[in-house]
A and B are shown apart, each in its own frame.
Chain A
Amino acid sequence: MKPQETENTKHSPPKWARQLLRLFCAASTFEEVDGDLLEEYHHQLRRYGFRKAYWDYVINVITFIQPFAGRREHVHHTPPLVITNLWRNYLTTAVRNFARNRTYSVLNLTGLTLGLVSSMLIFQYVTFENTADRFHVKGDQLYRVAFKSVVGGGTPETFSQIFLGAAEEFKATIPAVENFVRVRADFFQEGPTITYTSGGDKIAFKDIRSVIVDSTFLEVFTFPLVKGDQRTALRLPNSVVITESMAQRLFGDEDPIGKTIDYSMNLGLQNLLITGIMQDIPANSHLQFDVVIPLSHFMASIPEENRQYYEPWEFREFTTYVELRPDTDVKKVEQMMTKVVDRNIGEDLREQNITVNVVLQPMKSLYFDRQTDLGTTGFGSTLVSARTGNQRMTYFFTIIAIITLAIALISYINLSTVRSLDRAKEVGIRKVVGAHKYHLKIQFFMESVLMNLTALLIAILVVIMLIPYFNEFAQTNFTLASWFNQTFLLVFGTIFVSGVLLSGLYPAFILSSFMPIAALKGSINSFGSRSALRKFFVVLQYAPAIALIVCTIIVYNQLGFMRNMDVGLEMNKLITIRSARFLPDGMRSRDAEAMFRNEINKLSAVAGASFAGNQAGRGLNFIVPFGRDTTNESSILEFKASGVDHDFADVFGLKLLAGQPFTEGMSPNHGDPEKFIRKVLVNETAVRQWGFDRNDNVVGHVITSTNGSQYYIQGVLEDFNWASAHNATEPVMLWYTPNNRFMTIRLEPEADVEEALAQLKGIYDRLFPEDVFHYEFAEDVYNKQYSEDEKFANLFGIFSGMSILIASLGLFGLSAFAAERRSKEVGIRKVMGANVNQIVRLLSKEFVFLVFIAFVVASPIAWIVMREWLQTFAFHIELNAIPFIVTAIGSVCVATATVSVKCMSVANTNPIHSLRTE
């Protein structure tokens, strides 16, 4: 029967409340109660209106939730099985025990919960990293094509950027290649600018990551579209696909499909029609981008005079992915591809003594791949849009997760066995009235399970609350549903179950083994027995915690060192600005740059301004290979190179050690301009690697790269680290380009930064009204490269803090218990004249000593691990004793404080209280 539509039924009581009632109300009375509540609801609705009726209904439902509101059924119970009674009894005992020893129970629970929370967070992170790029439906069939090239007999190197035409020929000649897609970041140093006109206002956006791809992109990869047709989105003329968040950035809540944006890159301004909106790229995709531009469009927009550079077997800036037939012999395909390469450029390669082998890299291996050279940042590469994970980091974190959980479990085992004395009488009685050993085992095991489950429940709640913070921290976008995904549940479930088994079985065996007579006579002293094992456990839980603390200190030290390292560049008060892309009609880029420079040099706040090909911290744009003629014929020396102007050295505070600096208006070439010999400055590392011992000796030399271009060395600069402390200083070569893409401005030391920025913006807006002013602080850009290290350090810090906390909770419980056990002894000692100090020392001595032992065990491990870790940095701190000493003092202090809390209270008790009772 359905209620008819009347005036009143358009309001109905809340569904959820009714559902609640159905859940909690006894089935036998549900019908009448439900009916009564509905009737009452309608009564109230007529009389007092919706709001009152609604809330009254809710309150009514809640009052009916009480279990005694249920109708007692007049059914004769069949006598319950003994086992059910026992189970209920176990449960009652467990709950009572929990309530009686509240301190210990809460300690146990907190320790377990903390351990579970930290391991859940870490395992999620690790799972997330390890499942990178697995979201592609065809993932198993996808491979990245890379060239493994060896020059002479040197070390092989792998490059992921291959020739433009290679993929097409692979597909045409190799049947196993079903499909391919080429990807190239459209990123010529300063990146594209997008403008969009909305209601007469022009808004410009910089800092955009865009990729140029084949139209097969959406078929080969799984990047689902939210709007637009997947088959045609990239095939329409002038089409562009953007991500949801990019669409949000550009258009807010408007529908972006069919809108036109102005897109500017080095190939000039283009009008692009938005044909598709893509779901945001998962953070664990190695390809990261905001904008997708079809390759056909890119090729069509290349000006006639530049076409010559885009020959199929000349232009090699595309990263190629192929889709192979399922069950293809990959090795065979690799060989066939190598043959194709050989057929096309084999001759050239042999001339240069280079052997190239094609390597197919499985899609799922790419995220962690740090060996493959993804290309330079110049001339567009995948580097800026490719994210690489850090496998080493995931290993580290897996270990940390296991350690924290293990500490929590050990702490639990220790506390529950130590407390077994409290249960000895119970065990005795149970045995006397006929309990078998296995009954007791089941009972105590069940208690452990119960405890662990409670901890798990709380941990899950905590984790749910922490998800937003986790997302922010790890740059992920987990939701409640995606957090508890299958992999995670499987991994964590396994760990949890094994944890429960381990921590539950041991106390169960210990407790069930008490002899009833001894137990009832009270002659079991559980604290005295098995003390060696207990001590061992204390050491076992403290040692890893201490090791983690030492590591944390060292990691932070290294991070601080990298940040404050003298990189040879003066970064303070440096502002970088990317060149304007939307210029007034008829203005050429280099004129715009020169004009801007002239204008800002007039500002009093500006000490100097320089143009360079890139920003500090992001690497240099070009690689120039040299055959090392002095030492080894076959090895190749790669110089990182870029164009800079005459103010570069001044602005960055570089010292010229020998030769001549660049001067304004000088000719960029040496001698006959027809010969195109560039004048260059090199750094000291270049000089050394070249084999010269004196800087003067190298000035005036003309050097020739392996591809035939010549350079005249005009001067030598002091070393500076343009890239990162991870890598050793590279040989650098700078040539003269008066105007370039990145301007770096040095402000006067006493200049007001805000004011200077406002002035710069004023000039920029006046000169380039079409464009948008975008600035960065050089220091921020430089330090951005350390964000991963920073994340690592912070995670490390948090979780080692967590582990020491858990260990301390355990120690606290243990020492408190010991102190209580010895309260009679303390009483007698006090009567005999001992003072509080002596007693506290007596009680805490053992534990503090154990913590010290743990430190002794942990130190060498931490030393070895950290020495390995530091080796991954070209510039790193030297390991010394300070972090170890700090940790030793710190952990002993923490242990003393932890232990003393309870010891103090025991020592301060009036001996009357402890001695009176027997």
Chain B
Amino acid sequence: MKRYYLGEFEEVVLLTVAALSDNAYGVTITHEIIEQTGRSVRLNQVHSALQRLEDKGMIKSKMGNATEERGGRRKRLFVTTALGRRVATDTQLTRLHLWKLAKGTLGPLSEI
């Protein structure tokens, strides 16, 4: 399998895009990450991560509808591509595999 490099933060963003299904755009992704991971994230970081992901072909985007709140600006909605989903799965599988190998030294892991 061809190796795709997926950064840690990129992975978070990619997974969040997947989690938000059809409502993934800058603001919602940022808020979701803050809510779910508790890390402080700024919009610009999310934007650049999204761009990198799109460049790598792991997500794709289209322009969505506009709202009043956005001053009449449309949002760019993101969805994962097949490649993105596969890379995410691969990453996760690799990780699980490694976890199993390292089991015992890392202490108890209640649920995955």
The answer to whether A36 and B25 touch (CB under 8 A), given A66-B44, A71-B51, is: yes
- Residues 790 to 808 of chain A near chain B (Cβ within 8 Å): none
Within the assembled complex, what's the spacing in Å between the Cα atoms of A32 and B25? 9
Give the distance to chain A from B46, nearest Cβ to Cβ, in Å.
9
Within the assembled complex, what's the spacing in Å between the Cα atoms of A29 and B25? 13
The range of chain A's interface size is 20 to 34
The residues of A that contact B85 with a CB separation of less than 8 Å are none
The answer to whether A64 and B44 touch (CB under 8 A), given A4-B68, A36-B25, A40-B30, is: yes
The answer to whether A32 and B71 touch (CB under 8 A), given A60-B43, A66-B44, A69-B48, is: no
- Residues 22 to 39 of chain B near chain A (Cβ within 8 Å): 25-27, 30-31
The answer to whether A3 and B72 touch (CB under 8 A), given A35-B66, A43-B27, A72-B55, is: yes
The residues of B that contact A60 with a CB separation of less than 8 Å are 42-44
Q: Is the CB of B71 within 8 A of A38?
A: yes
- Residues 5 to 33 of chain A near chain B (Cβ within 8 Å): 29, 31-33
Which one of B44, B55, B69, B74 contacts A32 once the chains associate, using CB atoms below 8 Å? Answer: B74
Q: Is the CB of A33 within 8 A of B47?
A: yes
Within the assembled complex, what's the spacing in Å between the Cα atoms of A815 and B31? 62
Q: Residue A37 at the B interface, CB < 8 A?
A: yes
Which one of B42, B44, B51, B74 contacts A35 once the chains associate, using CB atoms below 8 Å? Answer: B74
Within the assembled complex, what's the spacing in Å between the Cα atoms of A2 and B48? 29
Within the assembled complex, what's the spacing in Å between the Cα atoms of A715 and B74? 100
- Residues 38 to 68 of chain A near chain B (Cβ within 8 Å): 38-40, 42-43, 59-60, 63-64, 66, 68
The residues of B that contact A59 with a CB separation of less than 8 Å are 42
The residues of A that contact B72 with a CB separation of less than 8 Å are 1-3
Give the distance to chain B from A577, nearest Cβ to Cβ, in Å.
70
Q: Is the CB of A32 within 8 A of B51?
A: no
Within the assembled complex, what's the spacing in Å between the Cα atoms of A550 and B74? 72
Q: Residue A34 at the B interface, CB < 8 A?
A: yes
Q: Is the CB of A36 within 8 A of B68?
A: no
With most chain A CB atoms within 10 A of its CB, the pick from B31, B48, B70, B75 is B70
Q: Is the CB of B71 within 8 A of A40?
A: no
Give the distance to chain A from B75, nearest Cβ to Cβ, in Å.
6
- Residues 56 to 115 of chain A near chain B (Cβ within 8 Å): 59-60, 63-64, 66, 68-69, 71-72
Q: Is the CB of B48 within 8 A of A35?
A: no
The residues of B that contact A29 with a CB separation of less than 8 Å are 47
The residues of B that contact A35 with a CB separation of less than 8 Å are 66, 70-71, 73-75
Within the assembled complex, what's the spacing in Å between the Cα atoms of A72 and B71? 24
Within the assembled complex, what's the spacing in Å between the Cα atoms of A33 and B71? 11
Q: Is the CB of A38 within 8 A of B48?
A: no
Q: Is the CB of B71 within 8 A of A63?
A: no
Residue of B nearest to A18 (CB): B71
Q: Is the CB of A3 within 8 A of B71?
A: yes
Q: Is the CB of A69 within 8 A of B66?
A: no
Within the assembled complex, what's the spacing in Å between the Cα atoms of A37 and B71? 10
Within the assembled complex, what's the spacing in Å between the Cα atoms of A66 and B45? 11
The residues of B that contact A3 with a CB separation of less than 8 Å are 68-69, 71-72
Residue of A nearest to B64 (CB): A32
The answer to whether A72 and B74 touch (CB under 8 A), given A3-B68, A39-B69, A40-B43, is: no
Residue of B nearest to A46 (CB): B69
Residue of B nearest to A74 (CB): B55
Within the assembled complex, what's the spacing in Å between the Cα atoms of A36 and B48? 13
Q: Is the CB of A39 within 8 A of B27?
A: yes
Within the assembled complex, what's the spacing in Å between the Cα atoms of A714 and B55? 108
- Residues 58 to 112 of chain B near chain A (Cβ within 8 Å): 63, 66-76
Q: Is the CB of B68 within 8 A of A1?
A: yes
User: What secondary structure prevails in chain B residues at the interface with A?
Assistant: mixed
Residue of B nearest to A36 (CB): B26
The answer to whether A42 and B55 touch (CB under 8 A), given A32-B26, A32-B76, is: no
Q: Is the CB of A34 within 8 A of B44?
A: no
Within the assembled complex, what's the spacing in Å between the Cα atoms of A36 and B27? 6
The answer to whether A40 and B27 touch (CB under 8 A), given A34-B73, A35-B74, A66-B44, is: yes
Q: Is the CB of A38 within 8 A of B73?
A: yes
Give the distance to chain B from A619, nearest Cβ to Cβ, in Å.
71
The answer to whether A68 and B48 touch (CB under 8 A), given A40-B30, A43-B27, A60-B43, is: yes
Residue of B nearest to A30 (CB): B73
Give the distance to chain B from A52, nearest Cβ to Cβ, in Å.
14
Q: Is the CB of A39 within 8 A of B67?
A: yes
Query: Contact string, A725-748, partner B, CB cutoff 8 A, digits 1/0?
Result: 000000000000000000000000
The residues of A that contact B26 with a CB separation of less than 8 Å are 32-33, 36
The residues of A that contact B75 with a CB separation of less than 8 Å are 32, 35-36, 39
Residue of A nearest to B55 (CB): A72
The residues of A that contact B71 with a CB separation of less than 8 Å are 1, 3, 34-35, 38
Within the assembled complex, what's the spacing in Å between the Cα atoms of A72 and B61? 14
Q: Is the CB of B73 within 8 A of A63?
A: no
Within the assembled complex, what's the spacing in Å between the Cα atoms of A39 and B43? 11
Which one of B25, B51, B70, B76 contacts A38 once the chains associate, using CB atoms below 8 Å? Answer: B70
Residue of A nearest to B29 (CB): A36
Q: Is the CB of B44 within 8 A of A69?
A: yes
The residues of B that contact A72 with a CB separation of less than 8 Å are 51, 55
Q: Is the CB of A38 within 8 A of B42?
A: no
The residues of B that contact A40 with a CB separation of less than 8 Å are 27, 30, 43
The residues of A that contact B68 with a CB separation of less than 8 Å are 1, 3-4
The residues of B that contact A38 with a CB separation of less than 8 Å are 69-71, 73
Q: Is the CB of A63 within 8 A of B74?
A: no
Q: Is the CB of A32 within 8 A of B73?
A: yes
Give the distance to chain B from A41, nearest Cβ to Cβ, in Å.
9
The residues of A that contact B74 with a CB separation of less than 8 Å are 31-32, 35
The residues of A that contact B76 with a CB separation of less than 8 Å are 32
Give the distance to chain A from B39, nearest Cβ to Cβ, in Å.
16
Give the distance to chain A from B68, nearest Cβ to Cβ, in Å.
5
Give the distance to chain A from B29, nearest Cβ to Cβ, in Å.
10
The residues of B that contact A66 with a CB separation of less than 8 Å are 44
Within the assembled complex, what's the spacing in Å between the Cα atoms of A1 and B44? 25
Residue of B nearest to A66 (CB): B44
The residues of A that contact B47 with a CB separation of less than 8 Å are 29, 33, 36, 64, 69
Within the assembled complex, what's the spacing in Å between the Cα atoms of A31 and B26? 12
Within the assembled complex, what's the spacing in Å between the Cα atoms of A68 and B48? 8
The residues of A that contact B66 with a CB separation of less than 8 Å are 1, 35
Give the distance to chain A from B23, nearest Cβ to Cβ, in Å.
12
Within the assembled complex, what's the spacing in Å between the Cα atoms of A31 and B62? 13
Give the distance to chain A from B62, nearest Cβ to Cβ, in Å.
11
Within the assembled complex, what's the spacing in Å between the Cα atoms of A35 and B74? 7
Residue of A nearest to B42 (CB): A63
The residues of A that contact B30 with a CB separation of less than 8 Å are 40
The residues of A that contact B25 with a CB separation of less than 8 Å are 32, 36
Give the distance to chain A from B11, nearest Cβ to Cβ, in Å.
20
Within the assembled complex, what's the spacing in Å between the Cα atoms of A840 and B73? 71
The residues of A that contact B48 with a CB separation of less than 8 Å are 68-69
The residues of B that contact A43 with a CB separation of less than 8 Å are 27, 31
Q: Is the CB of B44 within 8 A of A63?
A: yes
With most chain A CB atoms within 10 A of its CB, the pick from B51, B55, B73 is B73
- Residues 519 to 539 of chain A near chain B (Cβ within 8 Å): none
Give the distance to chain A from B35, nearest Cβ to Cβ, in Å.
12
Within the assembled complex, what's the spacing in Å between the Cα atoms of A568 and B83? 103
Give the distance to chain A from B50, nearest Cβ to Cβ, in Å.
9
Q: Is the CB of B70 within 8 A of A39?
A: yes
Within the assembled complex, what's the spacing in Å between the Cα atoms of A64 and B44? 6
Within the assembled complex, what's the spacing in Å between the Cα atoms of A68 and B67? 27
Within the assembled complex, what's the spacing in Å between the Cα atoms of A60 and B74? 18
Give the distance to chain B from A102, nearest Cβ to Cβ, in Å.
33
Query: Contact string, A536-568, partner B, CB cutoff 8 A, digits 1/0?
Result: 000000000000000000000000000000000
* Known contacts A1-B72, A32-B25, A39-B70, then 13 further A-B pairs from the complex at CB < 8 Å, ordered by chain A residue: A1-B66, A32-B74, A34-B73, A36-B43, A38-B69, A38-B71, A40-B30, A40-B43, A42-B69, A60-B44, A66-B44, A69-B44, A72-B51
- Show 9 A/B contacts (Cβ-Cβ < 8 Å), sorted by A: A3-B71, A33-B47, A35-B71, A36-B26, A39-B70, A64-B44, A68-B48, A69-B47, A71-B51
A interface residues (Cβ-Cβ under 8 A, vs B): 1-4, 29, 31-40, 42-43, 59-60, 63-64, 66, 68-69, 71-72
